[in-house]
């Protein structure tokens, strides 16, 4: 296996699987485990549920707090918590603290989780200082690839350069940037089913951007957005395939794209 | 006289409109209709591109833009924490320069104050500069109902007035109108006075210039808004690009400023900081064309200027927001950057929001000013993508405030029952890891079986799923694998 | 509306927990303004003219006030504007020999097409003209005519807005900060010049500070 050799075998990392990956796309979580292990970290997946993001964004603060408490105690023993999703990581890092009274012991415990939680690419680049060697398997692939910056990761966690650096270092991929890469795709959790007409217009704008750069592949870091974009692309008969960036970075073949069987 | 009859009829229509003006409860219907409006789409595409790019250029040019944002946030917070002090200081300084200050706790009082000033012989016509505050309580309708002629002088506002519509953007009120629509409107309204049909942009602007010149020069009262109130000097800062505000303020014998209490800032030093933010954030201008500071009526040896200078300080619900969990919204300087960068706003335009202020700041402010019951959709009309928050010059955490609205709706039990019970069910599952894993596993299995019954399995995605029509009416939905990741992990590596 | 005043201020004081309703003594501590840090060229004239032109202003330089009439003359011919101008009643302007131009020094009215005014100051940072109203400098000159010519002395050029305020000793009725000719983008977000104010704004910079 290529990749850095690290003395960090003893460092325990918990994977925050994320509900969507757990249910709809296990291979994202698998790829995340593979990438983290590549750097000599030990990965564990404690039995988990949801970070509470849907409740929190719906204004259900009480429910969100109960789910947050579960997460805080679940991840207590680990050195790091890594999620292959900007929005799940941001829920913890940006919004958990507001659920507890400042100065309380719950808040203190919460801050410990906040400190050690990372989005996958942010963890690999900023914490593990990953220096991925080029993967020969993909060396010759000359796909035209564009990238969608999911909003939470981008604006709440500053995830923008990290996945691009990993893709460049490992696969030599230069992203064909679309002008609206930083504009919301219209997913927005409940928003896409509460206002499907508006959501569809927004994803159509995103599709315009993707088609504008004639991308064969769209990558991103949040499965909700990717399912939304992939679903629309598929519906209108586009041939662009959609993957999570982790699936591209891992050694194993990414396999069928989101919403495809082959 | 047919003319005054027309004015009265329109006034009566508008007067009825006072009760009906909050249309935020029909958000979804209006928004869906707006999506089908091709003209609107073209207009919004054009506007979005222009506003976003020019803002970015202008912002990048100011090396310490971020420092100014932080300054503006702190200054506004500071003023809000001492609002009584700064307002009374402003008041006494206006009076010292010969101006009169009126306080109004609500729109009804503003209308009465302005009418009291205008109700005297010889006052027939009022010119008006763009004032979003005055839209809150349909000031024009109130004045027209009293038989006064009110002419909006900002070109966008004038177009909207002719069309009998409301603004769809706080700095570009007619952003939704096409050139063609303006051509037709002008022909309809100017033909009688002998003006030709104009098609070219320059000709349209020229015709408006001519028509409005007549009004500027014959108006008895000019009403403008104010962007900043400077406590230290009692000055009102008014910012425009057309120059209509100054002609409105300086030509008639009476100038009335209708403005709201949160606009006060400490001094001229602070004004510089705010001006550097406002033009850049609003239109990507380093400085708007006209920034004017008004201090009272004409002086004894002045050759021009109004004989009377009135300032109406409007509360209209703002003191109720002060000190609340929504206080941050009172920092707003009405630049419009949040809406220009909002993918929801640029998809549906401003009218769908149903009241004076659209877009992110409107979705926060409207429920506070008209009542949450009257705008139940607005807090949800947002994907929480956060783009607005990153461009706001006074750093208002707009998505967080929208979440607070949602939280209040939940706590007041005002969410729709389907949403409430769906959330409750999901929560009971999500709080219990064993139950959760079992349910998610079953759901994966169920979707998989459903897929095998249809072509979805071979295809890899569903074209239709019962109960998920809101998604699948326009988007495919992926078929999951038979086992969840956590189940796979347990099998392979084992935990618990 | 004393009742309303009491009500509004009462509401504010209640939510701010102000128990003492007497006016606060002295100003509460203020938030310091940031310094303008974008580098400006040493030559403020260069920055001013660049910014002024960028917003569609026209510009020329002359060596002294005596050369202003010729410049005005030239500008009027180039723009095919009638050679009739209204000066603001600024002694420095009226004392110039206007050589064959039809000049009146008075308030402007609707029919006047061109005005010549003298700027109180110029702000290099933004290419802005600062006009301070007085009996010598009425306000309508800046807005009513279609063509506005402004004489700006180099010695009156300041770097940023903050340097302007100390120059204004007594509070005037009106301060007009003018940055370019009037414009609108209200028709399909496309800029058209000459919305309600002047269509053209011509600055004649007098190099009175040349060392």
* Residues B277-297: tens digit of each pLDDT: 999 999 999 999 999 999 999
Quote the percentage of chain A above a pLDDT of 70. 92
Does residue B410 register a pLDDT over 90? yes
Separation between Cα atoms, residue A212 and residue B372, nearest integer Å:
41
Residue B462 lies in a domain: yes
- ipTM here: 0.96
pLDDT attached to residue B4: 35
Tens digits of per-residue pLDDT, B226-278?
A: 999 999 999 999 999 999 999 999 999 999 999 999 999 999 999 999 999 99
In this structure, what DSSP letter does residue B352 have?
Answer: G
For C127, name the nearest residue in chain B, comparing CA atoms only.
B287
> Which residues between 154 and 213 in chain B have a beta carbon less than 8 angstroms from any beta carbon of chain A?
none
Nearest neighbour of B289 by CB, restricted to C13, C173, C179 = C179
Chain B residue closest in CA terms to A258:
B478
Is pLDDT above 80 for A142? Answer: no
- In tens digits, chain C (211 residues) has pLDDT values of 569 999 999 999 999 887 665 555 556 777 889 999 999 999 999 999 999 999 999 999 999 999 999 999 999 999 898 889 999 999 999 999 998 899 999 999 999 999 999 999 999 999 999 999 999 999 999 999 999 999 999 999 999 999 999 999 999 999 999 999 999 999 999 999 999 999 999 999 999 975 4
Please spell the DSSP secondary structure of B416-469, one letter per residue: -HHHHHHHHHHHHHHT-HHHHHHHHHHHHHHHHHHHHHSTHHHHTEES--TT-H
Helix axes B65-81, B268-283, angle to 10 degrees: 120
Domain ranges, residue B440: 426-492
Decide if B480 is inside a domain. yes
The answer to whether the CB atoms of B113 and C1 lie below 8 A apart is: yes
pLDDT at A129: 83
Ranges assigned E (strand) in chain A = 12-15, 42-44, 80-83, 117-119, 145-148, 217-220, 241-244
What are the tens digits of pLDDT across the range B340-352?
999 999 999 999 9
Q: Where are the domains of chain C?
A: 39-206
Other beta carbons within 10 Å of B116: 11
Report whether pLDDT(A237) > 60. Answer: yes
Closest Cα in chain A to B441: A23
Q: How many contacts, defined by CB atoms under 8 Å, are there between B and C?
A: 260
Question: What residues in B contact A202, CB-CB < 8 Å?
Answer: 343-344, 347, 383
In a domain, B463, yes or no: yes
Of B415, B459, B495, the CB nearest to A46: B495
Q: How far is the CA of B12 from the CAs of A205, B118, B449, C31, in angstroms?
A: 42, 19, 63, 48
**A-chain residues near B390 (CB < 8 A):** 155
Show residues of chain B in contact with A44, CB under 8 Å: 495
Q: Which of B88, B288, B323 comes nearest C179 by C-beta? A: B288
Is C51 near chain B, with CB under 8 Å?
yes
Strand partners of residue B193 = none
Distance from CA of C74 to the nearest CA of B (A): 25
Using a CB-CB cut-off of 8 Å, the residues of chain B touching C131 are none
Residue B455 forms contact with A (CB below 8 Å): no
Note whether C touches A: 3 CB pairs or more under 8 A. no
In C, minimum Cα distance to B169 occurs at C186
Chain A neighbours, 3+ Cβ pairs < 8 A? B
Distance of CA A24 to the CA centre of its chain: 14
Chain C residues 58-117 with a CB less than 8 Å from chain B: 89, 106-107, 110
Q: Say yes or no for a CB contact (<8 Å) between A202 and B344.
A: yes
Q: What pLDDT is attached to residue B118?
A: 96
Provide the CA C19 distance to its chain's centre, in angstroms. 44
Residues contacting residue B430 through CB under 8 Å, at least 6 positions apart: A49, A50, A52, A55, A67, B436
SS3 C46: helix
Least Cα distance to B318 among B111, B15, B79, B19 occurs for B79
Residues of C in Cβ contact (< 8 Å) with B317: none
For B208, the token pair is: 């408006």
Residues B266-297, buried b or exposed e (16+ Cβ, 10 A)?
Answer: bbbbbbbbbbbbbbbbbbbbbbbbbbbbbbbb
Given 3.40.50, 1.20.1180, 1.10.10, 3.30.70, which CATH number is that of A136-249?
3.40.50
CA B323 – CA B325 distance, rounded (Å): 7
- Return the pLDDT at A252: 78
Neighbours of C152 (CB within 10 A): 25
What is the spatial distance between Cα A23 and Cα A25, in angstroms, rounded to a whole number? 6
Would residue B64 count as lying in a domain?
no
The verdict on B29 touching A (C-beta cutoff 8 Å) is no
Through-space distance between the first and last CA atoms of chain C, rounded to whole angstroms = 59
Structure confidence at residue A8 (pLDDT): 52
Domain locations in chain A as residue ranges: 12-127, 136-249
Nearest-Cα distance to chain C for B133, in Å, is 16
Q: Do chains A and B touch (3 or more CB pairs under 8 A)?
A: yes
d(CA B152, CA A199): 36
8 Å CB contact between B250 and B306: yes
- Say what angle helices B433-453 and B485-492 make with each other, to 10 degrees: 110
Chain A contacts of B486, Cβ < 8 Å? 17, 22, 45, 47-48
- Nearest-CA distance from A183 to chain B in Å? 7
Following DSSP, what letter does each residue of C147-199 receive, concatenated? EEEEEEEGGGEESSHHHHGGG--S--SEEEEE-SS-EE-TTTT--EE-SSS-S
What is the architecture of the domain spanning C39-206?
3-Layer(aba) Sandwich (3.40)
CA distance B406 to B400: 10
pLDDT above 90: percentage of residues in chain B: 87
User: What does the CA dihedral C188, C189, C193, C197 come to, rounded to 10 degrees?
Assistant: 100
What residues of C are in contact with residue B323 (Cβ under 8 Å)?
15-16
CB contact under 8 A, B431 and A26: no
Mean pLDDT value across chain B: 92
Instruction: Report CB contact under 8 Å: B201, C190.
Output: yes
Helices (H) and strands (E) counted in chain A, each on its own, are 14, 7
CB contact under 8 A, B460 and A262: yes
Q: Of B236, B293, B318, which to mutate for an interface test with C (greatest number of C Cβ within 10 Å)? A: B293
* pLDDT score at A38: 86
In terms of CA atoms, which chain B residue is nearest residue C38?
B63
Tokens 């014998």 belong to which residue? B253
Dihedrals phi, psi of C102, to nearest 5 degrees: -85, 100
Instruction: Name the residue facing A196 among B389, B443, B474 (closest C-beta).
Output: B474
B485 with A193: Cβ contact below 8 A? no
Q: How many domains does chain B have?
A: 1
Minimal Cβ distance to A151: which of B32, B385, B410: B385
Closest residue in B to A201 (Cα–Cα) = B347
Interface present between B and C (3 or more CB pairs within 8 Å): yes
Residue among A183, A150, A194, A169 nearest A59 (CA): A194
Residue B184, C-beta contacts closer than 8 angstroms, at least 6 positions apart: none
Placement of tokens 């690839």 in the chain: A145
Question: Phi and psi for B240 in degrees, rounded to 5?
Answer: -140, 170
CB contact under 8 A, B247 and C179: no
C11 vs B315: CB contact, 8 Å cut-off?
yes
Element (H, E) at B2: helix B2-20
What would the DSSP string read from start to end of B208-274?
Answer: HHHHHHHHHHH-SEEEE--SEEETTTTEEEEEESSSHHHHHHHSSSEEEEEEEGGGEES-HHHHHHH
Residue B92: how many other CB atoms lie within 10 Å:
13
C contacts of B271 (beta carbons < 8 Å): 161
For residue A9, the model assigns a pLDDT of 56
Average pLDDT over residues B76-88: 94
Q: What per-residue confidence (pLDDT) applies to C35?
A: 93
């Amino acid at each position: 296996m290529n990749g850095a050799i690290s003395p960090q075998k003893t460092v325990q990392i918990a994977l925050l699987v994320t509900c969507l990956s757990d249910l709809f796309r296990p291979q994202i979580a698998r790829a995340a485990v593979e990438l983290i292990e590549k750097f000599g970290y030990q990965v564990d997946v404690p039995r988990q549920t949801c970070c509470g993001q849907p409740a929190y964004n719906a204004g259900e603060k009480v429910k969100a707090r109960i789910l947050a408490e579960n997460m805080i105690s679940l991840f207590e023993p680990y050195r790091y918590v890594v999620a292959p999703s900007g929005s799940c990581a941001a829920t913890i890092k940006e919004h958990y603290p507001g659920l507890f009274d400042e100065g309380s012991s719950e808040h203190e415990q919460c801050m410990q989780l906040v400190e050690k939680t990372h989005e996958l690419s942010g963890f690999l680049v900023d914490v593990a200082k990953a220096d991925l060697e080029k993967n020969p398997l993909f060396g010759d692939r000359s796909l035209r690839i564009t990238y969608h910056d999911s909003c939470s990761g981008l604006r709440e966690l500053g995830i923008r350069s990290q996945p691009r650096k990993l893709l460049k270092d490992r696969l030599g991929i230069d992203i064909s940037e679309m002008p609206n890469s930083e504009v919301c795709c219209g997913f927005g959790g409940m928003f896409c089913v509460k206002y499907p007409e508006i959501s569809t217009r927004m994803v159509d704008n995103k599709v315009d951007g993707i088609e504008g750069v004639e991308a064969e592949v769209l990558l991103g870091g949040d499965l909700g957005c990717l399912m939304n974009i992939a679903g629309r692309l598929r519906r209108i008969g586009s041939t662009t395939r959609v993957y999570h960036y982790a699936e591209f970075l891992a050694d194993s073949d990414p396999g069928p794209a989101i919403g495809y069987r082959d | 006289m047919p003319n005054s009859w027309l004015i009265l009829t329109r006034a009566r229509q508008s007067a009825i409109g006072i009760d009906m003006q909050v249309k935020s409860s029909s958000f979804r219907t209006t928004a869906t209709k707006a999506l089908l409006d091709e003209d609107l789409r073209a207009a919004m595409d054009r506007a979005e591109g222009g506003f976003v790019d020019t803002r970015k250029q202008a912002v990048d040019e100011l090396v310490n833009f971020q420092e100014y944002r932080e300054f503006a946030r702190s200054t506004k917070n500071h003023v809000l924490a001492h609002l009584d002090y700064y307002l009374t200081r402003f008041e006494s300084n206006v009076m010292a320069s010969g101006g009169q200050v009126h306080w109004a706790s609500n729109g009804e009082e503003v209308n009465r104050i302005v009418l009291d000033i205008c109700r005297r012989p010889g006052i027939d016509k009022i010119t008006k500069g763009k004032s979003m505050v005055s839209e809150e309580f349909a000031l024009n309708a109130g004045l027209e109902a009293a038989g006064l002629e009110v002419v909006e002088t900002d070109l966008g506002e004038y177009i909207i007035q002719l069309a009998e519509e409301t603004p769809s953007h706080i700095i570009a009120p007619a952003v939704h109108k096409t050139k063609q629509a303006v051509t037709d409107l002008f022909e309809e309204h100017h033909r009688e006075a002998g003006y030709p049909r104009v098609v070219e942009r320059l000709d349209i602007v020229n015709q408006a210039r001519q028509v409005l010149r007549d009004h500027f020069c014959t108006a008895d009262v000019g009403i403008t808004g104010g962007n900043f109130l400077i406590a230290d000097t009692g000055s009102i800062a008014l910012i425009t690009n057309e120059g209509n505000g100054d002609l409105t303020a300086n030509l008639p014998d009476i100038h009335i400023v209708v403005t709201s209490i949160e606009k006060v800032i400490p001094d001229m030093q602070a004004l510089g900081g705010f001006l550097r933010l406002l033009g850049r954030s609003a239109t990507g201008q380093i400085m708007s064309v006209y920034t004017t500071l008004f201090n009272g009526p004409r002086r004894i040896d002045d050759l021009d200027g109004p004989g009377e200078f009135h300032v109406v300080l409007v509360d209209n619900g703002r003191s109720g927001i002060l000190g609340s969990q929504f206080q941050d919204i009172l920092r707003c300087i009405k630049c419009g950057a949040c809406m220009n960068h909002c993918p929801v706003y640029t998809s549906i335009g401003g009218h769908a929001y149903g009241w004076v202020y659209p877009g992110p700041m409107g979705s926060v402010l409207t429920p506070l000013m008209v009542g949450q019951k009257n705008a139940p959709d607005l807090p949800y009309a947002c994907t929480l993508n956060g783009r607005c928050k990153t461009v706001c010059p006074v750093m208002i955490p707009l998505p967080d405030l929208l979440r607070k609205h949602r939280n209040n709706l939940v706590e007041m039990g005002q969410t729709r029952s389907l949403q409430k019970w769906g959330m409750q069910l999901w929560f009971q599952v999500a709080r219990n890891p064993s139950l959760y894993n079992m349910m998610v596993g079953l759901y994966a299995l169920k979707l998989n079986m459903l897929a095998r019954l249809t072509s979805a399995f071979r295809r890899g995605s569903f074209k239709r799923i019962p109960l998920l029509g809101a998604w699948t009416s326009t988007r495919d939905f992926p078929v999951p694998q038979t086992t969840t990741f956590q189940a796979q992990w347990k099998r392979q590596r084992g935990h618990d | 509306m004393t009742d309303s005043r009491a009500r509004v201020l009462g509401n504010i004081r209640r939510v701010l927990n102000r128990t003492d309703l007497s006016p606060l003594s002295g100003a509460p501590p203020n938030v310091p303004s940031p310094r303008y840090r974008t580098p400006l060229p040493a030559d403020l004239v260069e920055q001013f003219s660049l910014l002024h032109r960028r917003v569609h202003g026209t510009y020329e330089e002359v060596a002294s006030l005596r050369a202003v009439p010729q410049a005005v003359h030239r500008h009027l011919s180039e723009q095919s504007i009638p050679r009739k101008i209204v000066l603001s009643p600024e002694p420095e302007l009226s004392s110039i020999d206007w050589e064959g131009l039809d000049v009146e020094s008075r308030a402007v009215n609707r029919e006047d097409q061109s005005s010549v005014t003298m700027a109180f100051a110029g702000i290099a940072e933004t290419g802005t003209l600062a006009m301070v109203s007085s009996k010598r400098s009425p306000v309508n000159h800046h807005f009513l005519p279609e063509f506005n010519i402004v004489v700006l002395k180099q010695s009156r050029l300041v770097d940023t807005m903050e340097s302007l305020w100390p120059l204004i000793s007594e509070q005037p009725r009106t301060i007009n900060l003018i940055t370019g000719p009037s414009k609108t983008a209200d028709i399909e977000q496309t800029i058209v010049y000459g919305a309600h104010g002047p269509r053209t704004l011509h600055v004649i910079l007098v190099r009175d500070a040349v060392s």
